[in-house]
Structure 1
Amino acid sequence: MSVEFNSSLGQLDVDYLNPKAADENLKMRPYGDEPSGCGRMCRRRPFKTAAVFLGLLCLLLLAGIISLQVHYTKVGDVHDSEMRDIQTKYNNLTDKQNKLQNNYSNLKQDRNLLETKYINLTRERHQLQISYDTLTKLRDDSQTSLTSLRKQRDDLRNEKIQLAAEKEELQRRFELVTSSRDGIQEELNSLSLNMTEKPCQQGWTKFNGSCYYISTSSKTWIKSKKDCEDRGANLVIIDNRKEIDFITRFNDRTWIGLSDTVREGKWTWVDGTDLQVGAGFWQRGEPNDADDGEDCVELSRSGKGWNDVPCSNKFSWVCEE
């Protein structure tokens, strides 16, 4: 600080910025060396001015301190508010961190569970793959066996067809041989009969070892039976299909020696023997005893079999001796 006295104004010039220079000015002036025309008042004025200056300086310092105090108070309040906000944010972040940590732990547990399930599923898949491979092999083996069985079945079918064809051929040959044998046997029997048996009466026809009288007129069954008895024979008794074929060569409808006149439904030959149930060479649907009066049997060429008719009908007849 520098202090100088201005003689023209009667004031001290104080250099606040250079106090060392002011001290040197004071030292350079000897005590009692005062400006002219100032007197005692000039000696007091510097002290008052310094006192005023110091008071102002104190006021300025006080104002600065108060300003700083207010400023730092506001700064502190702002700082506290910011710290509270930071603390709140920190607490929120801490909560979020804890939640995230919990979520992470849960996810980790879930991951472990999923890994365990994945391992189990992998094992199950492996077992299923093994089972699938086994079943596939079994299926392939079964398919191979099925193919082989189908081939064997087809071979057996072919063999069966061939055997059936061979059987039919053998059956045909057998029937031909049997037919030839039967023909030869009949011829042999006929020759034997012709050689051993007596010849038939005049007007009679010999067939298969028997003599037959073929009528040329028509009579009732009773009269036909009586005519044969008068000739020493019976109405024809038919034993086989060949006899039917022989008789039907002469007349279309012919009386034979079969009736149920003694007992209805019980067919009896004129020699007293009974016809077995279900036996005979009946036409389809016969005997039917139509109108409850068909008790005698005729042989029809057109019908190729027997038919029961009323005994009063008139047909040709055949006697067998």
Structure 2
Amino acid sequence: MGRKPILEDVLYQIDFITQGRGEAVIDFIKINRKEQDLEELKNTNHSTYSSLLGAHATLQSQYRTLNEKYDESSKELRNLKEYYCYVISLSWISFSTEKTCPVCKVGWVPFNSKCYFFSTDKLTWESSRDQCVRKGGQLVIVKSSKEQEFLENKISVMGGEEKDYWIGLHDRFKDGEFVWVDGTPLSTSNRFWDVNQPNGGNNENCVQIWIESQWKHWHDFPCATPSKWVCETTSSLLPI
């Protein structure tokens, strides 16, 4: 009778140990899985990190390439600006101390701070004035002897056989009182009439630069005479 309690106690302890061992195995499996998950996460992160390093290196290489191309383009642009301004300087241009030169729309010719359009078609004085406005300018206002010389030279080269061009001067409001298209009266210092001009009285109230034979300055003509025309507008300044 004394052995049965002992046997039961031993069996109980064996069962307890067995259960504890089973729980320990389960815990071990869980821990092992967590370690595997951590290892996989580490490997994944390492792979992602390596990919990011590779992408970073690629971006750095592309950045260096773009910088080199930018430097090359900037140098090319500087050279083009200098060449453009040099060519312009051969065409009666005066440079400012700020190292700039004028830039004009295609078809316009630069001189100092202005751009000029020399037409090839003929219009009346009023139609010429309106056409210049549509182009973003006005009939030319001559403000200096250098500007007059520039216009005469350009008309001589570009005018072909007919070198008569309307400018923005007229006395349509009162005979003998010449004003520019912007309303400014003709100054006493900048008058470039040819000999015996103006001579048209009430019949000739608009002014041309007329180049033919010995004539190359201003002549008054009837405003309805179809003639070529010169527009002006302000130029943009290109820094160099």
TM-score, L = length of structure 2:
0.51
Q: Is the 8 A contact 1:193 1:209 kept in 2?
A: no
Aligned-pair CA distance for 1:258: 0.1
Aligned-pair CA distance for 1:253: 0.9
Match for residue 294 of structure 1?
204
Q: Tell me the distance in 1 between the aligned counterparts of 2:100 and 2:203.
A: 41
Match for residue 110 of structure 2?
206
Match for residue 30 of structure 2?
none
Which of 147, 154, 165 in structure 2 is aligned with 1:254?
165
3-state SS of paired residue (1:280): coil
Q: Percent identity?
A: 36
Give the aligned CA root-mean-square deviation in angstroms: 2.4
Amino acid at match of 2:121: S
Instruction: Tell me, yes or no, if structure 1 residue 234 matches structure 2 residue 138.
Output: yes
Amino acid at match of 1:285: N
Unaligned runs of 5+ in 1: 1-182
Name the structure with the higher helix share.
Answer: 1
Instruction: Tell me, yes or no, if structure 1 residue 267 matches structure 2 residue 178.
Output: yes
TM-score, L = length of structure 1:
0.39
Distance 1:258-1:190 versus aligned 2 partners, 3 A rule = farther
Aligned-pair CA distance for 1:191: 7.4
Superposition pairs for residues 78-97 of structure 1, below 5 Å? none
3-state SS of paired residue (2:131): helix
Aligned-pair CA distance for 1:244: 2.3
Aligned-pair CA distance for 1:186: 5.6
Write out per-residue CA displacement over residues 250-277 of structure 1, whole angstroms, 9 at most, x where no aligned residue: 2211100000111211100001100135
3-state SS of paired residue (1:319): strand
Distance 1:191-1:201 versus aligned 2 partners, 3 A rule = farther
Superposition pairs for residues 116-265 of structure 1, below 5 Å? 187-189=94-96, 192-194=99-101, 199-248=103-152, 249=154, 250-251=158-159, 252-265=163-176
3-state SS of paired residue (1:282): coil
Q: Is the 8 A contact 1:190 1:209 kept in 2?
A: no
Distance 1:204-1:265 versus aligned 2 partners, 3 A rule = same
Match for residue 312 of structure 1?
224
Q: Is the 8 A contact 1:220 1:315 kept in 2?
A: yes
Aligned-pair CA distance for 1:205: 1.1
3-state SS of paired residue (1:261): coil
Q: Tell me the distance in 2 between the aligned counterparts of 1:318 and 1:191.
A: 29
Runs of at least 4 residues off by over 4 Å: none
Q: Tell me the distance in 2 between the aligned counterparts of 1:226 and 1:190.
A: 36
Q: Is the 8 A contact 2:122 2:227 kept in 1?
A: yes
Name the structure with the higher strand share.
Answer: 2
Q: Is the 8 A contact 2:145 2:190 kept in 1?
A: no
Unaligned runs of 5+ in 2: 1-89, 234-240
Match for residue 16 of structure 2?
none
3-state SS of paired residue (2:95): helix
Amino acid at match of 1:236: V
3-state SS of paired residue (2:224): coil
Match for residue 130 of structure 1?
none
Superposition pairs for residues 17-96 of structure 1, below 5 Å? none
Larger Rg: 1
Q: Tell me the distance in 2 between the aligned counterparts of 1:222 and 1:266.
A: 18
Number of equivalent positions: 134
